[in-house]
Structure 1
Amino acid sequence: MLANMEHEIYRQIEETKLLPLYTATDLSCLDRLEEILVRNEVRFIEVTFRSNLALDAIKKLAQSGELIVGAGTVRTLAEAKSAVENGAKFIVSPAIVPDVIAYCIERDIPVFPGTATPGDIQRATEYGIKVVKFFPADIYGGLKAINALSGPFYDVKFLPTGGINEENFMEYIQNDHIVAVGGSFIISESAIKKDDGKTADKILKTLVDKMRS
């Protein structure tokens, strides 16, 4: 079975260009998180399984329907299933996880498997996947690596994360081989908690304004 690359989420993420990676340790920040993302028209959030509140956060953020909520750092089939049951609309993994990919394809759920080498990318394409996470981007050569890999994998696009920040993100999103960039630099719980979201809102607005200028 092959992935359905016509899924609306692929188009929406390519339009948005920013995929915030968010690790929840305090559920009281989620209302402010949603408010800031909606105000800045970044309606995506990837909640990572790096805390034991991941499922609670996915469920709460998915309830309003204002955001397209996904699960990140998904390493097992059990995590993928529980994320989807709690409202996740897409799945991001740090590596090629066959069980997770098969589950997502079977249910027409967009899945972004983590890749770093030509072998990884080839494995992803064998499932029909044409958009892969490239992680950790800075360690594995960043834009130079993506440009080189795009030679043989001319029909694949990349969603890089790792080492991307407010200083270099524009170089990435201006590259034709890249659908969007991910990272906690886009919005984070610590920035929200600092001053009830003022700093977080300012950071996100600056990123969005840079993209539109």
Structure 2
Amino acid sequence: MRPLQKGTIISIVRGVDPHEIVPIAEALLEEGIEWLEVSLSEEKQGLDNIKLLSETYGDRLQLGVGTVIHKEQADRAIAAGARYVITPGWERELVRYVKSLDMQIFPGVYTPGDIMQAVQEQLQVVKLFPASTLGADFVKQVQGPFPSLHIMGVGGIALSNINSFYEAGCSSFAIGSDLVPRGATRQQLSTIRERAKQYKNILHEKG
């Protein structure tokens, strides 16, 4: 798996039927979005999607799992083909467990205390969630004590506010329904493609 680079967009896929997931992933790849996070908010469906995407795309897709809240979920997702783990909040033991498997984990953080604990665990990337609640100014402020930390903005990120979060210091973004609607189908491919182009163009111009 490649390192997470500045300006990366991760597409969050949630509630998508396995019969629809491959054309959606193909559209994202064709528009230059190679990172995809499959949420386990609907666990069986999510695991089925991870397995199918892993078998279909292999190394072409930077495939991860999100909404992981306990070790057993991480185990099942990794067995299905996930290459990194994203959590909604901070949980030290889960972080240590995933790291012990030699897997990348991008844990959710909400406070400077959460961030401090992540730094103590020698993590280089944290997921700020929900970013839109905290606001871009929060990101700017935490750059002071944590200047080298890679902050991924997640939660409420949209075309209307991604600029402000990027300028404040978010290095990457995981984007949900504003890019791939929950439960999306192939009938929405044209919209997904257009949104993907818009997001890529914004970050390309900033880069």
Q: Report the TM-score, using the length of structure 2 for normalisation.
A: 0.89
The CA deviation at 1:58 is 0.8
Q: Which residue of 1 aligns with 2:20?
A: 29
The CA deviation at 1:25 is 3.7
Please say which of residues 96-105 and 124-133 is displaced more in the overlay: 96-105
- The answer to whether 1:144 aligns with 2:134 is no
The CA deviation at 1:155 is 2.5
Indicate the SS of the match to 1:94: coil
Q: Which residue of 1 aligns with 2:46?
A: 54
Structure 2's unaligned 5+ residue stretches are none
Q: Which residue of 2 aligns with 1:162?
A: 155
The CA deviation at 1:82 is 0.8
- The answer to whether 1:197 aligns with 2:189 is yes
Distance 1:147 1:209 in 2: 23
Output aligned runs, 1:45-194, within 5 Å.
Answer: 45-52=36-43, 53-63=45-55, 64-65=57-58, 66-140=60-134, 142-175=135-168, 177-184=169-176, 185-193=178-186
The CA deviation at 1:10 is 2.3
Alpha-carbon RMSD: 1.8
Distance 1:181 1:45, change over 3 A: same
Task: Give the number of the structure whose residues are more often helix, by fraction.
Answer: 2
How many residue pairs get aligned? The number is: 201
Indicate the SS of the match to 1:41: coil
What is the identity percentage for the equivalent residue pairs of Structure 1 and Structure 2? 24
Q: Which residue of 2 aligns with 1:41?
A: 32
The CA deviation at 1:30 is 0.9
The CA deviation at 1:192 is 3.8
